[in-house]
């Protein structure tokens, strides 16, 4: 009998959801109230819109095109370290953008390894700044994501099909056409749409590698209008454009974007009988080596340069590290206060709704929200005084959709299994959370907290609007060092930031696993 019992109070969940809506809508209303449509769009605004769409399109295109052979190779090969590599594909999600940018600069930058090599060969140098750099960085972040999602798709193909293909002695091309092409046709559009939407609201990459009239995204244009011209009207107008564009794209893509699975279980390779030929092995080996190199070499560069840089870091870096730690802890706490009641509410309803929340979160622009709150706070007090709490809150809001996706399914199962017995025992409110829900959800909560902590630690977004010279988070301080060409100190800060972000994730995840219920 499918009895439905709801021992979880829904009141606090509904109020928290309402609070989230108020926080986002409030920012939107503030932005709308200041948006000056009178002057219309300047040519540079049109250029920013075109560039935003174009770079997102290219990023999605290259990420998916390159991910197909990588996922294909990973799906049909088994080798030592395959599990580690698949796990590493999840790492860019918690990797601070600015750290990755510094790593890419070390490899592809003006005096980077690639240009040293080209110089040695007598070839002209390449520049990372401009659209090629923005797309390169986006591919760096989204190639692993696309690979993971495609790999998920590959694993939905039953092993029996490949067995059948082996019995029929299908050629590699026939295997691709009969089994893999239909699969790709099903999965690729959604993956490409997801990456397109993510890249539409890209800020930190454009800030560091883009800029100028020909490589400015909308998000960056908002920042420039705000920071350089202090033209709130124009920042607000661009925010509205950004919201319409990213929100519209997310809504259009709503039906094809795949579920983002955060869990593991992808390290299970299919047993395959096809593709045993030497050339195919060589090809797959090269693809995997190249992809791994593309991901790992920049990270190695960060570590190598950071070790020497860490000794020359100014004291301000340590101060900023403290601020980042505070922001990270605060945003985990805020998120817990918001996400837990909301998850309780969503889980005690029938399935659905969560996906929509997730996509709205993806499309919401942190700089739009930041601009809105700045407009609200500015007349009341100095916004810089609130820089850190506001950053923590916005980071929490940005992580909310992912976190709900992680904890709601498990909470739903827990209520399904133990809802009735908790009711016969009269367990409600805090005792229910304390003795049943929190212990049952420990691994998910640890993972979610780790994700939030790491994202918040490495975020370079809304803080750029609110900070003054006295207040900075570590990513911002690192950006300032880069801007002042103190690359050695910046490298040290990057290593510190990398360790802090990964450490935050690892620590929370480990605590969750430690308390994992039997």
Distance CA 404, CA 416 (A): 18
Distance CA 459, CA 204 (A): 8
Nearest CB to another protein, comparing residues 20 and 427: 427
Nearest CB to another protein, comparing residues 272 and 420: 420
Distance CA 404, CA 451 (A): 12
Count Cβ atoms below 10 Å from residue 83 Cβ, excluding itself. 15
Measured CA to CA in angstroms, residue 447 lies from 39, 182, 213, 443 at distances of 48, 34, 41, 6
Nearest CB to another protein, comparing residues 229 and 417: 417
Min separation Cβ 413 and another protein, Å? 11
Cβ-Cβ contacts under 8 Å for 304 (sequence gap 6 or more): none
Nearest CB to another protein, comparing residues 214 and 428: 428
Distance CA 226, CA 232 (A): 6
Q: Which residues bind another protein (CB under 8 A)?
A: 1, 3, 5, 417-418, 420-421, 423-428, 430-432, 434-436, 439-440, 517-518
Closest C-alpha among 199, 205, 472, 230 to residue 371:
230
Nearest CB to another protein, comparing residues 1 and 469: 1
Min separation Cβ 15 and another protein, Å? 22
Torsion, Cα 107 108 113 115, to 10 degrees, reads 180
Instruction: Find the length of the chain.
Output: 518
Min separation Cβ 200 and another protein, Å? 43
Nearest CB to another protein, comparing residues 227 and 514: 514
Min separation Cβ 434 and another protein, Å? 8
Backbone angles phi, psi at 485, to 5 degrees: 60, 25
Rg (CA), the chain: 24
Min separation Cβ 510 and another protein, Å? 18
Min separation Cβ 439 and another protein, Å? 5
Min separation Cβ 35 and another protein, Å? 51
Backbone angles phi, psi at 70, to 5 degrees: -65, -50
Nearest CB to another protein, comparing residues 432 and 501: 432
Nearest CB to another protein, comparing residues 72 and 440: 440
Min separation Cβ 425 and another protein, Å? 5
Distance CA 342, CA 151 (A): 31
Nearest CB to another protein, comparing residues 119 and 417: 417
Min separation Cβ 436 and another protein, Å? 6
Strand segments, DSSP code E, in 90-181 are none
Nearest CB to another protein, comparing residues 379 and 426: 426
Can you say how many angstroms the Cα of residue 313 is from the centroid of all Cα atoms in its chain?
A: 28
Min separation Cβ 410 and another protein, Å? 13
SS3 letters across 225-292: HHHCCCCHHHHHHHHHHHHHHHHHHHHHHCCCCCCCCCCCCCCCCCCCCCCCCHHHHHHHHHHHHHHH
CB 321 within 8 A of CB 489: no
Nearest CB to another protein, comparing residues 248 and 431: 431
Nearest CB to another protein, comparing residues 230 and 430: 430
Closest C-alpha among 405, 76, 99, 119 to residue 268:
76
Closest C-alpha among 375, 369, 209 to residue 217:
209
Min separation Cβ 418 and another protein, Å? 6
Count Cβ atoms below 10 Å from residue 77 Cβ, excluding itself. 17
Min separation Cβ 516 and another protein, Å? 9
Distance CA 480, CA 478 (A): 5
DSSP string, 459-505: --STHHHH--TT---HHHHHHHHHHTT-HHHHHHHHHHHHHHHHHHH
């Amino acid at each position: 009998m499918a009895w439905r019992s709801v021992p979880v109070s829904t009141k606090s969940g509904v109020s928290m959801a309402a609070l989230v809506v108020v926080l986002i809508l409030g920012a939107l209303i503030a932005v709308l109230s200041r948006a000056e449509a009178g002057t219309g769009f300047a040519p540079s605004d049109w250029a920013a819109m075109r560039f935003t769409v174009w770079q997102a399109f290219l990023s999605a295109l290259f990420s998916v095109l390159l991910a197909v052979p990588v996922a294909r190779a990973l799906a049909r090969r088994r080798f030592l370290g395959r599990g580690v590599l698949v796990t590493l594909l999840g790492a860019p999600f918690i990797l601070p953008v600015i750290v990755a940018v510094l790593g890419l600069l070390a490899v592809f930058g003006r005096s980077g390894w690639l240009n040293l090599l080209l110089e040695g060969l007598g070839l002209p140098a390449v520049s990372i700044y401009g659209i090629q750099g923005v797309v390169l960085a986006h591919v760096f972040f989204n190639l692993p994501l696309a690979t993971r999602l495609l790999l998920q798709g590959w694993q939905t193909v039953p092993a029996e099909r490949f067995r059948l293909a082996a019995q029929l002695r299908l050629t590699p091309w026939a295997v691709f056409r009969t089994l893999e092409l239909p699969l790709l046709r099903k999965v690729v559009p959604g993956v490409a749409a997801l990456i397109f939407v993510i890249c539409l609201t890209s800020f930190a990459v454009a800030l560091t590698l883009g800029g100028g009239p020909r490589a400015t995204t909308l998000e960056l244009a908002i920042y420039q209008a705000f920071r350089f011209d202090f033209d709130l009207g124009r920042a607000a107008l661009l925010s509205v454009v950004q919201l319409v564009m990213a929100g519209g794209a997310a809504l259009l893509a709503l039906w094809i974007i795949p579920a983002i699975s955060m869990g593991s279980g992808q390290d299970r390779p299919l047993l395959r009988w096809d593709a045993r030929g030497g050339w195919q092995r060589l090809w797959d080996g090269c693809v995997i080596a190249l992809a791994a190199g593309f991901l790992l070499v920049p990270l190695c560069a960060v570590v190598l340069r950071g070790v020497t840089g860490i000794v020359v870091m100014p004291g301000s870096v340590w101060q900023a590290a403290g601020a980042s730690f505070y922001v990270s802890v605060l945003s985990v706490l805020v998120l817990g206060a918001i996400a837990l009641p909301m998850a309780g509410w969503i889980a005690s309803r029938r399935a659905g709704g969560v996906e929509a929340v997730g996509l709205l979160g993806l499309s919401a622009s942190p700089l739009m929200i930041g601009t809105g709150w700045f407009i609200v706070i500015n007349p009341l007090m100095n916004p810089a005084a609130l820089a850190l709490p506001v950053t923590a809150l916005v980071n929490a809001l940005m992580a909310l959709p992912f976190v709900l996706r992680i904890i709601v399914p498990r909470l739903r199962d827990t209520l399904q299994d133990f809802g009735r017995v908790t009711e016969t025992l009269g367990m409600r409110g805090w005792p229910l959370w304390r003795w049943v829900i929190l212990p049952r959800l420990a691994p998910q909560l640890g993972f979610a907290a780790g994700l939030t902590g790491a994202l918040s630690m490495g975020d370079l977004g809304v803080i750029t609007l609110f900070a003054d010279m006295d207040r900075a988070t570590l990513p911002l301080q690192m950006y300032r060092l880069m801007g002042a060409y103190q690359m050695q100190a910046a490298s040290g800060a990057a290593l510190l930031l990398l360790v802090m972000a990964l450490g935050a994730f690892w620590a929370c995840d480990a605590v969750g696993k430690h308390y994992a219920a039997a």
